[in-house]
Amino acid sequence: MKSPHKTYTATRNACKLCAPLGASMAYKGIQGCVPIIHGSQGCATYVRRYMISHFREPVDIASSNFSEESTIFGGGPNLKMALTNVGNQYKPHHIGISTTCLSETIGDDVPQIIQEFRKEQPDLSHVGLAHAATPSYCGSHIDGFHHAIVAVIKNLSDKTLKNDKIVLLPGMLSPADYRYLKDVFDFMGQDVILLPDLSESLDNPHWHDYKRIPDGGTTPQELFEIGGSKGFIQFGDVFNRGASANTVSKRKIETPGSVLSDKYQLKGKTVGMPIGINATDRFFEAVLEMSGKQMPERYEKERGRLVDAYTDGHKYVFEKRAVVYGEEDFVIGLTEFLSEIGVEPVLIATGGKSNVFESIIKEKLQTGHQPKIMTGADFEEISEQCKDVNPDFIIGHSKGYYISKQLNVPLIRVGFPIHDRIGGQRVKHIGYEGTHELFDRIVNALLEYKQSNNAIGYKYL
């Protein structure tokens, strides 16, 4: 079922975030990269606020700081000044530029501005520049994230050094997920280029002295090696298939994987977000096939422990009803996982508008149950629909907390953003290990709810 017909035109608490936020997060996963948002100061402040609240790390996002004059006469001078200031003060390897609704609406020709900057500032010729067009009226934070990675591949990966590495394109996951992925490849003895790499840059150890640019990220050397790698693996069922269409032009959107295929003729594999046993099996199958390695006993045991956990907790989750919301690829992964453990997703919602979300969800469901599916949704719509589906729990990020409070059901916090708890950057979602942790959290949330809402208050469940 699609969203019911609206009798209004306003978006009330969108189930998505702005595109420059996603682009900025992707740029933070490149070593020595400083993001610049080409637009008003408020846009950069919004991005910093969301990222700092989730990651609990200092996050510097530069701005070209539009004024009324810039809006009328163009933001070229502001962008050049921002590039000069960041280049001189931060000494970055790279600068990642993302545009806002305002700069795109007035028609700033950013590639032309960059060319002029290169001529005017030869002393900064060593700084790599990547530019992604990210107006939020043509996408969400996930679109911005992927567009930034496309820009990095096109503008910074300009050499081909033959190597035996695999390029992994995980999409927007937590630093803990990124560390898990790096550990998998390291344990298997397979070199990997993680693009981007948020494992440290957005979850650093404590600093004694402030660092303008945090440690971590995909290195310049790794960027140069991308074109000569043995192939790539990418996560996602929507954007990474190139199925997402621009809402204005209806054209296919370039994806990181399509650019690697077209520009470097790399062979790749696309798998869904590896949440749950089946999806993680597909991920490991892709790794083993591309690397030529054998499945390590360590991960066979991880899988076995997860199967055992499913058995132990099945009676607590079977036929429980869940509401799932968030960005499209992540929600698809969660939906398949919930269906796998016997939970009925009764309402599945996203703010995205890929035009393929509903059909993919139906492919992933393992039961005959037909949930309500909402695309382009906001949280007021989701709240209204929740009243009719009687969920036992809700799973998604912090923006939906008030719905769980209204319904008096548990909220399992996953994804981005998590603003009302500590440790959002350390929540693990993927692989056998991440799935195990997520499964335990769901079971224990249901047990805690049952225990807390029982007059007897028994201690044995």
Asked if 80 and 56 touch (Cβ cutoff 8 Å), the reply is: no
pLDDT at residue 73 in the model: 81
CA gap 222, 218 in Å, rounded: 6
Type of residue at 69: E
* CA neighbor of 148 nearest in space, from 37, 308, 276, 314: 37
The first and second tokens of residue 416, run together, are 């981005």
Asked if 201 and 33 touch (Cβ cutoff 8 Å), the reply is: no
The first and second tokens of residue 425, run together, are 């950057």
Terminal-residue alpha carbon distance, the chain: 37
Tokens 């440790």, residue located: 423
Q: Which CATH number fits domain 299-452: 3.40.50.1240, 1.25.40.10, 3.40.50.1980, 3.10.20.30?
A: 3.40.50.1980
- Identical fold at 19-155 and 166-291? yes
Asked if 99 and 135 touch (Cβ cutoff 8 Å), the reply is: yes
Q: How many alpha carbons lie under 13 Å from residue 205 in its C-beta half-sphere? A: 1
* CA neighbor of 353 nearest in space, from 101, 139, 146: 139
Q: Looking at beta carbons, which pairs linking 378-383 to residues 24 or more positions away fall under 8 Å? A: 378/11, 378/12, 378/13, 378/14, 378/15, 378/351, 379/12, 379/13, 379/14, 379/15, 379/325, 379/403, 380/12, 380/13, 381/3, 381/4, 381/6, 381/12, 381/349, 382/15, 382/323, 382/325, 382/347, 382/349
Looking at 8-22, 47-61, 135-149, 283-297, which range is the least confident one? 8-22
Asked if 435 and 306 touch (Cβ cutoff 8 Å), the reply is: yes
Asked if 64 and 82 touch (Cβ cutoff 8 Å), the reply is: yes
pLDDT at residue 248 in the model: 45
Q: ω into residue 170 within 30 of 0, thus cis?
A: no
Percent of the chain with pLDDT over 90: 79
The model's pLDDT over 328-367, given as tens digits with 9 standing for 90+, comes to 999 999 999 999 999 999 999 999 888 889 989 998 886 6
Residue 59 has pLDDT above 50, yes or no: yes
Residue 247 has pLDDT above 70, yes or no: no
Question: Which residues are registered as beta bridge partners of 27?
Answer: none
CATH architecture for segment(s) 19-155: 3-Layer(aba) Sandwich (3.40)
Whole-Å CA distances, 67 to 34, 73, 113, 384, 396: 22, 10, 18, 40, 37
- Looking at 265-296, list the stretches that DSSP marks H as alpha helix, in order from N- to C-terminal side: 277-291
Residue boundaries of the structural domains of the chain: 19-155, 166-291, 299-452
pLDDT at residue 1 in the model: 46
Type of residue at 85: N
Q: ω into residue 175 within 30 of 0, thus cis?
A: no
Question: Which residues are registered as beta bridge partners of 233?
Answer: 168, 269
State the DSSP H helix or E strand holding residue 268, giving kind and residue range, or none if neither: strand 268-271
The model's pLDDT over 223-235, given as tens digits with 9 standing for 90+, comes to 999 999 999 999 9
**Residue range 166-291 in CATH 3.40.50.1980:** yes
pLDDT at residue 249 in the model: 46
The first and second tokens of residue 44, run together, are 């950069």
State the DSSP H helix or E strand holding residue 439, giving kind and residue range, or none if neither: helix 431-452
Percent of the chain with pLDDT over 70: 95
The model's pLDDT over 111-169, given as tens digits with 9 standing for 90+, comes to 999 999 999 999 999 999 999 999 988 889 999 999 999 999 999 877 778 899 999 99
DSSP letter (8 states) at residue 294: P
CA gap 294, 274 in Å, rounded: 19
The first and second tokens of residue 406, run together, are 């209204």
287 phi/psi in degrees, rounded to 5: -65, -45
CA gap 153, 155 in Å, rounded: 6
Residue 244 has pLDDT above 70, yes or no: no
Confidence of residue 277 (pLDDT cuts 50, 70, 90): very high
Task: Identify the residue with better confidence: 160 or 388.
Answer: 388
Looking at 128-132, 282-286, 341-345, 456-460, which range is the least confident one? 456-460
Residue 2 has pLDDT above 90, yes or no: no
Tokens 């911005």, residue located: 144
Asked if 405 and 317 touch (Cβ cutoff 8 Å), the reply is: no
Helix, strand, or coil here: 85? helix
Query: Chain-wide mean pLDDT for the chain?
Result: 91
CA gap 426, 396 in Å, rounded: 15
Whole-Å CA distances, 98 to 41, 77, 95, 197, 258: 13, 16, 10, 19, 21
pLDDT at residue 68 in the model: 84
The first and second tokens of residue 446, run together, are 């249901």
